[in-house]
Chain A
Amino acid sequence: MKNPYYLHLVTMVYVNAVLGMGFALIYSTGLVTLGASAFWGIGAYASALLVMKVGLTFWLAMPLSAILAAMVALVFGFLAIRYAGVGFIVFTLLFCFVVERIFGYVPVFGGWGGIIGIPTPEPIHLPFGGLIDFSDRIPHYYLSFLLLLAAVITFSSLYSSRIGRAWWAIKLDPNLAAAVGVYTYGYRLGAFVLASGFAGLVGSFYAHYSMAISPEAFGLLKSVYIQIYAILGGLEHSVLGPLLGSLVFTVLPEIFQFYPSVEPYVTGVTLIAIVIFLPTGLAGLVQIVLRAITRLRLAARKKSGVGEATL
């Protein structure tokens, strides 16, 4: 049986990976967002309120929260996406800032103390008898894994289709993409809405997992962390990368708890070092290492005279 602390860590790794993948998805169209945490927060608060104030079951609240986050993203994106890179990132930053303030100041969200006592998901009654009870950590773990899987499958499927190709074309040269008939604005908006919807989805999960939420968790710092999950992992590998990045940067802050004054330095240096020295990220590093190993093995084979046909 897994140690509950490690179970918690891995669960959070999964959650953060989905957030990082959302960032990567949006970046695959050439846009940088610093507002991802706001949509995570919208999902969390929406779900908490839907269950606690409206009385819905979690299993209905979760998809609804995701849809709500997506709708907010639609409105925001509709207004913000027409700006070039710098303008867009500024707007997302402002948005993130403002959403945190709204969660803090508007009374229905519980103020700066946030909402506590969020109920765990209702148990699922399995058809062949038996119960999945969410008072334990393990079902949460599996649920987060399922959400991650959903994200991985959805995003990969899109990347490998003509939609992903359109995104790539837009990212590398939006003018050329438009010249061949790609509706750049629409594709960017689509990616933004989808990524934000998923952020809302795991936000809902997070609210009922940690059972208490407060505005600070959804502020700019989290948006920066989400950026790190994606960049650290490597943006060329939009699925594996964020998972790796999330793994490192979910575990690392746990260690920092004991050395709180070091954390900003490590985070800051990581950001700078990754961008300048290892732009392909950890996933890229893994690839380089694998390639080097393959080359070494090939060289060793040639030396020992094994036939080249083995390649």
Chain B
Amino acid sequence: MMLLEVSRVSKYFGGVAALSNVDFVVSESEIVGLIGPNGAGKTTLFNVVTGFLPVTNGTISFGGEDITGLRSDQITRRGISRTFQASVLYTRASCFENVLIGCHMHYREPKWKAFLHTKAYRKEEHTMKQNTDELLEFMGLAEYRDRFAGELPHGQQRVLGICIALATKPKLLLLDEPATGMNAKEIALVMDRIRRLRKKETTIVLVEHNVRAVVGVCDRIVVLDHGQKIAEGVPDEIMKSPAVIEAYLGRKNDDVARG
């Protein structure tokens, strides 16, 4: 079953097409890699799917439901979460508080009970806080629990970003360049966690420049360039595809050299 279906989506900024007639599907339990040179439109695609930007044309459906044009918080509550290219965190709050706010949408007790601090609500708070700690543990951040997010080393900040997104218990997780700024050990940890998530039935789409990381973990890769999909297939095919190599070499960047 197609979990996510992006159909003929275009996004124009003034006269410039950041996305142009993009078709993009994701099946359940897949790990899909989304690659392409700088400016190809990868982050724009994420923004559009998660409601941070409105589409100019096209539709997006998730789990059979049309989610085009919904607000980002509505989309998160339907089960899609994302991380950001630049670390977006509550820098002056502890890692614990950061992840705790990620649990926000899972409260079942109504707000008036929260206001009155009833027993049921307090019990739920306790559960949320436990979940937060478990999540921090899972992502290897337990030692930073009470440190300010802004104090963390860069790589760990990115991990925290993923952790916060995970707190929303998404069915589909969109990771925007998670490995940037991480050293090899951190990358290995994150990739391992990503694989584990798939076992937990989370579907993942990954945007990455580090092509080696992507090849190692993805079932399928989609390549964007200039806002259009130029290739799609299993990692081996993609790596050998002339169109892909052309797209990367045609730009002055060292991604291919790195990857």
Chain A interface residues (CB < 8 Å from chain B): 154, 157-158, 160-163, 165-166, 169, 172-173, 175-184
Contacts and interface: CB of A to CB of B under 8 A. Distances in A.
B117 A161 contact: yes
Contact of B104 (A157, A166, A173): A166
Contact of B114 (A161, A176, A178, A184): A161
Interface string B40-79: 0000000000101000000000000000000111101100
A176 B114 CA distance: 22
Nearest to B111: A163
B115 interface: yes
B175 to A, nearest CB: 13
A126 to B, nearest CB: 28
A285 B71 CA distance: 41
A166 to B, nearest CB: 6
Interface stretch (B82-90, B196-204, B211-219, B243-251): B82-90
Determine chain A's interface SS by DSSP, over half rule: helix
Interface string B84-118: 10001110110000001110110100010011110
Contacts of B125: 162
A168 to B, nearest CB: 8
A177 B105 CA distance: 11
11 contacts: A162-B104, A162-B114, A162-B125, A163-B114, A163-B115, A169-B104, A172-B93, A179-B165, A180-B76, A180-B102, A182-B101
A165 to B, nearest CB: 6
Nearest to B89: A176
Given A163-B111, A165-B100, A166-B104, A183 B117 contact: no
Given A169-B104, A173-B90, A176-B89, 4 more contacts: A157-B117, A172-B90, A180-B81, A181-B77
Contact of B116 (A157, A162, A177): A157
B167 interface: yes
Contacts of B93: 172
